Amino acid sequence: MTALENSLPLISVIIPIYKVEAHLRPCVDSVLSQSYANLEVILVNDGSPDNCRIICDEYAEKDQRVTVIHKKNGGLSDARNCGLDIATGDYIAFVDGDDILHIDFLASLYQNLVATNCDISFCRFQPFKDGEEFVVPKRSEAQDGIRVLSGLQMMNTFYDESWFPRNIVVWNKLYKASVFQQLRFPKGRLHEDAYIFPDLYGEPIQVVYTDVVLLGYRVRNASIMSNPFTDLHLQSWVEIYDRHQQIYAQRGWRSLLKELDKNRRRKYFSFFVNGSSTAAKSLISPKMFFKLLLDKDIHWKKRAALIKLYIMG
């Protein structure tokens, strides 16, 4: 690194790794080749049974910016937490082990953060299928602007489908390290990003967003997210809604409580129709059932299907 690059604040990039042998090298290469070079790259091998361990050690030998943790399998949250526990950077970024970063991912997010004196900076991402190449789309003039949101404004995006999921996931963001000083991910849960959402944005915090695509999100059939309507996913969302409801009630956020109620009904409806109707039915009370029937935002054919499933399913 040049003296100028070394004078920039240190960014810790935490990469949890499990069964991504085929995609790990392109991911790590995209991190190490960032135009923002003052990095601490923490590879957390979460007990992966393939050759990820060997690959991680190879990178540690080649680049002094790389630190490797080999640990027993504990899940995504546990791996991220292990990285947080040893991170020394002024800023924190999380990258999944099969995704690809644009060369200016960190530089752009950092510049936006500094320019607006915000605490969190994030961007749009582009999904691409496993086996395909991530191609960065051309920018439009409209995308070059940035938008600053308060923590409460971010809280309101949780129920706005036009923002989902780039507002919730943690791997398209750059954080001031202080954001995670007292915060860790819940172990053993799916949708851990959604679970800690009110912890991140329920505080007096400022967020900056750019609509520019700076990350490629790999869509894999083997991913746990490839089937979002399992009973395990349903139980996860039940816990998320219950926790959010408790926090909203404590802080007197009535408008968010209303949005939560509406969103929860529709989420349970989706599970009822697309997943396990038996598990979802136990969560749909008669009162919620009638609210769904009266929800004009749900197509009448889907409401008719709900009646059939609810009565006969």
Q: What is the pLDDT of residues 27-80, one digit of tens each?
A: 999 999 999 999 999 999 999 999 999 999 999 999 999 999 999 999 999 999
22 and 122 assigned to the same domain: yes
**Closest-CA residue to 66 (of 122, 25, 114):** 25
Averaged pLDDT score across all residues of the chain = 88
CA angle, corner 262, sides to 244 and 246, nearest 5? Answer: 20
Per-residue pLDDT, 229: 67
193 and 266 assigned to the same domain: no
Q: Looking only at Cα atoms, what is the longest distance across the chain?
A: 71
Per-residue pLDDT, 262: 86
Sign of CA dihedral 48, 165, 26, 177: negative
Per-residue pLDDT, 231: 77
d(CA 132, CA 186): 33
Residue 224 lies in a domain: no
- Alpha carbon of 229 to those of 127, 129, 271, 293: distances in Å? 20, 20, 6, 21
Residue 63 lies in a domain: yes
Residue 225 lies in a domain: no
d(CA 281, CA 275): 11
Residue 20 lies in a domain: yes
Q: Which of 2-11, 122-131, 180-189, 206-215 has the lowest mean pLDDT?
A: 2-11
Q: Which amino acid is at 297?
A: D
99 and 171 assigned to the same domain: yes
Q: Please report where in the chains the tokens 């949890």 appear, as a residue.
A: 16
133 and 279 assigned to the same domain: no
Asked if 183 contacts 200 with a C-beta cutoff of 8 angstroms, the reply is yes
pLDDT digits (tens, 9 = 90+) for 265-311: 888 777 777 765 566 666 666 777 677 777 777 766 666 766 666 66
Domain region containing 43: 3-219
72 and 115 assigned to the same domain: yes
Give the domain CATH number at 207.
3.90.550.10
237 and 287 assigned to the same domain: yes
Per-residue pLDDT, 227: 62
Query: What is the DSSP annotation of the chain?
Result: --HHHHHSPPEEEEEEESS-HHHHHHHHHHHHT-S---EEEEEEEES-SSTHHHHHHHHHHH-TTEEEEEE----HHHHHHHHHHH---SEEEE--TT-EE-TTHHHHHHHHHHHHT-SEEEEEEEEEETTSPP-PPPP-GGGG-EEEEEHHHHHHHTT-TTTTTTTT-STTEEEEGGGGSS--PPTT-SSHHHHTHHHHHSSS-EEEEEEEEEEEEEE-TTSTTS-TTSHHHHHHHHHHHHHHHHHHHHHT-HHHHHHHHHHHHHHHHHHHHHS-HHHHHTT--HHHHHHHHT-TTS-HHHHHHHHHHHHH-
pLDDT digits (tens, 9 = 90+) for 83-137: 999 999 999 999 999 999 999 999 999 999 999 999 999 999 999 988 888 887 7
> What's the rounded mean pLDDT across residues 167-194?
96
304 and 252 assigned to the same domain: yes
261 and 130 assigned to the same domain: no
170 and 102 assigned to the same domain: yes
Residue 226 lies in a domain: no
Of 219, 249, 278, which one is at a domain's C-terminal end? 219
Exposure class string for 65-99: b at 16+ Cβ within 10 A, else e: bbbbbeeeebbbbbbbbbbbeebebebbbbbbbbb
